[in-house]
Amino acid sequence: MIKVAIIGAENVGKSTLMNALLGKRVSETAEIPGTTKSIIRKTFGKIKIPKTMKNPFGGADEFVLIDTAGLFDPKYEFRGKVLSEEKFKEILDEITSADIIIHMIDAQYGLHRGMEKLHHILKFRYEKPIIVVINKIDLVPRERVEELRQIVKKRLEQEPILLSLVTYEGFNDLLKALVYYAQYAKKS
Ligand SMILES: Nc1nc2c(ncn2[C@@H]2O[C@H](COP(=O)(O)OP(=O)(O)OP(=O)(O)O)[C@@H](O)[C@H]2O)c(=O)[nH]1
Ligand SMILES: [Mg+2]
């Protein structure tokens, strides 16, 4: 089983992504930041991978998806509002035991400073494969998305996936990245 943790600032769309990947509503979503209050929401399930995509699991495409509470306030460098220092650490422990991490960024706010630092720690200290996703691209002009893509690419040194969980643009790219990294995670 491959463990995938979805992380990001509050309200970026983590729970919406978890539901979309599993094709059912398992995690509560809302416009209000701080919706996921149980700091860690684990769900087991199969991700629907299109037949046209090479599936490295040979049918056993079982994942444990971990939806986490927003780690930071979207606008400031504060911890997420439902998190005490202790709970923040608890989430970090959970994240560092994942095989793959999805780092979600809200296209409206851009890369969060706190998340940028955490990204580097996870990548270099913990050697985690991280998929970077810029979500909610339906809400901002194309030029802004492109600008943000370049900033993220430069700061995190990797190409982000551009996603909308309203139009589903980029969703297939995300599935491809998951399949790719899952293969890699299984080998190690
Ligand atoms: N327009 C648009 N709205 C989105 C998209 N993805 C999620 N949302 C909306 O953004 C809001 C927050 O989504 P959630 O999935 O609850 O966000 P979260 O990251 O789990 O939030 P917390 O649990 O509070 O940290 C909801 O109203 C979603 O419907 C997207 O791609 N485009
Ligand atoms: Mg949530």
pLDDT values of the chain reduced to their tens digit, one per residue, 188 residues: 789 999 999 999 999 999 998 887 777 888 888 888 777 777 777 776 776 776 665 544 678 899 999 999 988 888 888 888 899 899 999 999 999 999 999 999 999 999 999 999 999 999 999 999 999 999 999 999 999 999 999 999 999 999 999 999 999 999 989 888 887 776 54
In terms of C-beta density within 10 A (0-12 exposed, 13-18 middle, 19 or more buried), how is residue 94 classed?
Answer: middle
Q: Ligand 2 centroid to 57 CA: how many Å?
A: 28
Top mutation candidate among 11, 66, 73, 145 for ligand 1, by most atoms within 8 Å of CB: 11
Compute the distance between CA of residue 83 and CA of residue 86 in angstroms, rounded to an integer. Answer: 8
Atom 2 of ligand 1, nearest CA residue: 136
* End-to-end Cα distance, the chain: 13
Atom 4 of ligand 1, nearest CA residue: 136
Atom 32 of ligand 1, nearest CA residue: 136
Q: Is the CB of 19 under 6 A from ligand 1?
A: no
Q: Ligand 1 centroid to 58 CA: how many Å?
A: 32
Compute the distance between CA of residue 64 and CA of residue 99 in angstroms, rounded to an integer. Answer: 10
CATH number of 2-187: 3.40.50.300
Q: Which atom of ligand 1 is nearest to the CA of 19?
A: 15
Q: Give the model's pLDDT for residue 75.
A: 86
- In the chain, where the domains are located: 2-187
Which residues have C-beta within 8 Å of that of residue 32, sequence separation ≥ 6? 11
Tell the residue number behind the tokens 């606008």, with chain if given. Answer: 75
